[in-house]
Amino acid sequence: MSASSATPLLAIRGLRAAYGNVEVLKNVDVDVAPGEIVALIGANGAGKSTLMMTIFGRPRARAGQILFDGYDISALPTHEVARLHIAQSPEGRRIFPRMSVAENLHMGADAADGNTSESDRSADLDRVLALFPRLKERMTQRGGTLSGGEQQMLAIGRALMSRPRLLMLDEPSLGLAPLITRQIFDVIRRLNREDGLTVLMVEQNANHALRLAHRGYVMVNGRITLSGTGEELLERPEVRAAYLEGGRR
């Protein structure tokens, strides 16, 4: 638990959010310290993706605070959150289907809003392509024509192009072959170890996620019910039950 005692990069306090009259997040508290990988696990519909999107103001928080670097960003417009170098590879990956792979990556670099020069940009691009060599062969291809695994790599690569201080990953393993999943998780681990990248990830594959993460939170029906280090959570019977429930689909 040593990581959580440092000043958090992201601190979510008493967060509530709703779609219409349906309250999806009910008083959620989550901390992410700099350099940490934090996993958020839970069944389908628990509110994990909503939490990720609420950080970007979609939907807007109804109550509570989202502190990034100590500043409450819960009222910022979505595009201004992105400029703070918070990047997300969202649920469903959301690759721009009629843009080339190169253009998709440029969109990520644009999010950093001009404070990266042309040479920084090409250095970033080289780095991303070194992490995901598959993308290199696909640069001129349209995003929509990529396979699921390649789209996931592109979504993460696009997020990395914005030089994120906080990288948010929503279900990076969804629908991918085990081998590809392992490759992607390896990249995340490397970025964290070598560059100290801070990661907040949502996963249904709790086993994988908790092994990768320093700490984890379990979410049930819009509430955090458990938190602890990855190993601790893996031992908990509730987690094992939730993991089996979520893993068998």
Partner 1 sequence: MDYFAQQLINGVVLGSIYGLIAIGYTMVYGIVGMINFAHGDIFMIGGFIALITFLILVSMGLSAVPLILLVMLIVSMAVTAVYGWVVERIAYRPLRQSFRLAPLLSAIGMSFVLMNFSQVSQGAQVKPIPPLITGGYTLHDSGNFAVQLSNVQIMVVVTTIVLLTIFSYIVSRTRFGRDMRACEQDQTMAALLGVNVDRTISMTFVIGASLAAVAGMMYLLYYGLVDFFMGFVAGIKAFTAAVLGGIGSLPGAMLGGLAIGLIETFWSAYFSIEYKDVAAFSILIVVLIFMPTGLLGRPEVEKV
CA angle at 209 for the pair 228 and 5, rounded to the nearest 5°: 30
Residue 126 corresponds to which tokens in the numbers above? 């080289």
Size of the site for partner 1 (CB under 8 A): 27
Among 23, 29, 110, 245, binds partner 1 (CB under 8 A): 110
* DSSP H helices in the chain: 2-5, 48-55, 78-83, 101-111, 118-131, 133-136, 148-160, 178-195, 206-212, 230-235, 237-247
DSSP 248: -
Give the residue from 6, 5, 24, 3 showing the smallest Cα distance to 15: 24
Of 66-74, 90-98, 171-179, 202-210, the window that binds partner 1 (rule: CB under 8 A) is 90-98
If one asks whether residue 90 binds partner 1 (CB under 8 A), the answer comes out as yes
Of 102-110, 194-202, 211-219, 237-245, the window that binds partner 1 (rule: CB under 8 A) is 102-110
Of 62-70, 94-102, 187-195, 218-226, the window that binds partner 1 (rule: CB under 8 A) is 94-102
If one asks whether residue 37 binds partner 1 (CB under 8 A), the answer comes out as no
Of 4-12, 61-69, 79-87, 241-249, the window that binds partner 1 (rule: CB under 8 A) is 79-87
If one asks whether residue 58 binds partner 1 (CB under 8 A), the answer comes out as yes
If one asks whether residue 77 binds partner 1 (CB under 8 A), the answer comes out as yes
- Residue 124 CB, shortest distance to partner 1, in Å, is 14
- Is there a contact between 109 and 161 (Cβ–Cβ < 8 Å)? yes
What is the per-residue DSSP string for 19-51? ETTEEEEEEEEEEE-TT-EEEEE--TTSSHHHH
Helix (H, G, I), strand (E, B) or coil at 10: strand
- Is there a contact between 39 and 216 (Cβ–Cβ < 8 Å)? yes
If one asks whether residue 200 binds partner 1 (CB under 8 A), the answer comes out as no
If one asks whether residue 116 binds partner 1 (CB under 8 A), the answer comes out as no
Q: x/- string (CB under 8 A) for partner 1, residues 152-191?
A: ------x---x-----------------------------
If one asks whether residue 97 binds partner 1 (CB under 8 A), the answer comes out as yes
Of the pair 12, 82, the CB lying nearest partner 1 is at 82
Residue 114 corresponds to which tokens in the numbers above? 């001009």
Residue matched to tokens 């695994």: 149
- Residue 44 CB, shortest distance to partner 1, in Å, is 20
- Residue 157 CB, shortest distance to partner 1, in Å, is 13
If one asks whether residue 121 binds partner 1 (CB under 8 A), the answer comes out as no
* DSSP H helices in 132-177: 133-136, 148-160
